[in-house]
Amino acid sequence: MRIDAKDLAISAARVLDEKQATDILILDVSGPLVIADCFVVCTARNPRHARALAMSVEEAFRQLGLRRRNVSGIEGESPWVLLDFDDVVIHVFVPEARAFYRLEDLWADVPRVPFAQAQPAAEAAPGNGGNQENWPGTGVPGPLLPT
């Protein structure tokens, strides 16, 4: 099964959101880059949280039959973890590293893929979240469907 890069990026963002990543952003870099179609950028509370987020995405993608091509920063106390799944590259930063590298400013001219983080349960309004479905045969969140 071939999954569209944007749908895969949205799925990664949903996994990250479920694990309390913040400031999740999906960049469509397919125009200027030939090595990837989308970057998913998010913030973790600390290096341990960054590793946990990366491992959650990797496990979800494994359920979809996808394997990462490369990884960086998963060992030790790295402030930036990168997962490369060919068409989709996941960047997980601690706040200080995200502010320093400012990927969203570096790629300011590329389109953003729409993604809205889930509201905390206390703030969520009924019917405000769209229709969530998982990829067939998995527990991996798929893209949100319109309600």
Counting the structural domains of the chain, the total is 1
Domain enclosing residue 70, as ranges: 5-106
Confirm whether 139 is domain-assigned: no
**pLDDT attached to residue 137:** 59
Whether 32 is in a domain gets the answer yes
pTM: 0.82
In a domain, 79, yes or no: yes
Q: Domain containing 50 — which CATH number? A: 3.30.460.10
Buried b (16+ CB within 10 A) or exposed e, 61-90: beebebebeeeebbeeebbbbbbebebbbb
Predicted local distance difference test score (pLDDT) of residue 132: 58
**Domain presence at residue 129:** no
Q: Chunk the chain into consecutive blocks of 10 residues (it has 147) and report each block's average pLDDT, rounded to whole numbers.
A: 88 96 97 95 97 96 92 93 96 98 96 86 44 61 54
- In degrees rounded to 5, what are phi and psi of residue 33? -115, 145
Q: Is residue 25 part of a domain?
A: yes
Q: Does 136 fall in a domain? A: no
d(CA 60, CA 11): 9
